[in-house]
Amino acid sequence: MIRKVFVLFVVFVLAFAAMTAEASSIGDLQSELKNNENKIDSITDKLKEVKSEKYGVEKQIDELDNQIRSFVSEEDGLNDIVTEFENNISLKEAEIVQIKSDISSNTDLLEERLRAMYKNGAVGYIEVLFNANDVVDFLTRADMIQRVVNSDVEILEGLESQQTDLEIAQLALKSEQNNYYRAIEDVQSKRNDVEIASRAKETYMSSLEDNIDELKKEEQKLLDASNDIEKKIKQKQLEIQYAGGEMNWPAPGYYRITSPYGMRPHPLYGYWSMHTGVDVGVPMRSNIVAPNSGVVTYAGWYGAYGNIVLIDHGGGISTLAAHNTSVLVSEGQSVTKGQVVSYSGTTGMSTGPHLHFEVRINGKHTNPMAYFE
């Protein structure tokens, strides 16, 4: 009898050791998974930061492009004005050429007349005057000679004055034109500075886009690694043998079932729905225990379930305790049968303090009461 008890003890110790080793392996994988998830969160934050910076740089590039367009428009306007000045200067130059030609012609005529007068001397004038018929004719002829000489002189003086005015106007136009040339150079310089800044921003934008691509690739690698780890965890969980034996009641001292497993009217909305576990009436902050030994695969908030503790007991069997006011264990932690894992409450979608308890086989819910009868 003693030998039989000893053999059973040894078998129990070996089975517990094997489960502990597997649990440790799963715990390591879960730690690795958690580490990967933290890295993914970090990369996600970095992606948000880089994308925000990229958006800011895009706005700066748009502003620089608008400045460039404004400078180009201003430069075009100045070029039009310079072209108009060039046309006006060309017109003035043409007028000056014409006036110089007129001055040259009139000067030639005057010189020819003066040479003729010089050759003929006073005899020519006297002959013209003394050929007069009478005194009146004499005076008329003398006045006419004076008028011709005066007219020639006035024409020359007028042409020379007009040439001087045109040359002054031409110089003024060229001076104004030079001012516009300097304005164009200033605008071109500003535009070049803005274009350099814009190209620098575009280069930086390209580096940000490359950074985003690299972060996305790294994120995808981590997601793929996390998926692989999750598959390994599920495989390890299937490989673990069930802890064995009947389960402990999860709410010691409280056995009133307020809502059984199966179809029922929804407690909040009234429509018929599947109740995937059993509800046990318990006061606030009552002890909730692990129904069997295993590894905690999730501990914390889970939507409508509120705060939950999900335990893998091996062999594809897991249990879930929901609506806890607080949890006392953490993900990846090994727990023993009867260990307090949480305090009851009414978190999540709940009408009052109670324990919602589920048993799942390979993820599918089943009637929990089958494990206590």
In a domain, 141, yes or no: yes
In a domain, 28, yes or no: no
| Virtual torsion, Cα 162, 90, 189, 78, nearest 10 deg | 90
Do residues 204 and 62 share a domain?
yes
4 is a domain residue: no
Find the domain containing 86 and state its range: 50-217
Residue 324 confidence (pLDDT): 98
H or E segment and range at residue 307: strand 307-312
Same-domain status, 131 and 172: yes
Contact 20, 334 (CB under 8 A): yes
Most confident of 1-15, 41-55, 166-180: 41-55
Contact 130, 70 (CB under 8 A): no
Same domain, 248 and 213: no
289 lies in some domain: yes
Averaged pLDDT score across all residues of the chain: 79
CATH of the domain at 311: 2.70.70.10
Structural contact between residues 364 and 326, judged by C-beta atoms closer than 8 angstroms: no
Reported as half-sphere exposure (CB side, CA atoms, 13 A), residue 207 has a value of 8
Q: Residue 310 and residue 296: Cα distance in Å, rounded?
A: 6
Reported as a single tens digit per residue, the pLDDT across 113-132 is: 656 555 554 445 555 556 66
State how far the Cα of 360 lies from the Cα of 366, in Å rounded to an integer: 6
Q: Do 202 and 267 belong together in one domain? A: no
- Mean pLDDT on 164-181: 76
Which of 149, 182, 217 represents a domain boundary (last residue)?
A: 217
Residue 280 has pLDDT above 80, yes or no: yes
Is 230 contained in some domain? no
10 belongs to a structural domain: no
Distance between CA atoms of residues 15 and 20, nearest Å: 9
- Measured distance CA(340)–CA(327) in Å, rounded: 9
- Judge whether 312 and 237 are in contact, CB under 8 Å: yes
Whether residues 73 and 200 share a domain: the answer is: yes
CATH number, domain containing residue 153? 1.10.287
pLDDT of residue 21: 47
pLDDT of residue 269: 58
Structurally, how many domains does the chain consist of?
2
Predicted TM-score (pTM) above 0.85? no
Residue 253, class by beta-carbon neighbours within 10 Å (0-12 exposed, 13-18 middle, 19+ buried)? exposed
Please indicate, yes or no, whether residues 207 and 252 belong to a single structural domain of this protein.
no
Residue 16 lies in a domain: no
Type and span of the H or E element at 321:
strand 317-324
82 and 195 part of one domain: yes
Do residues 104 and 58 share a domain? yes
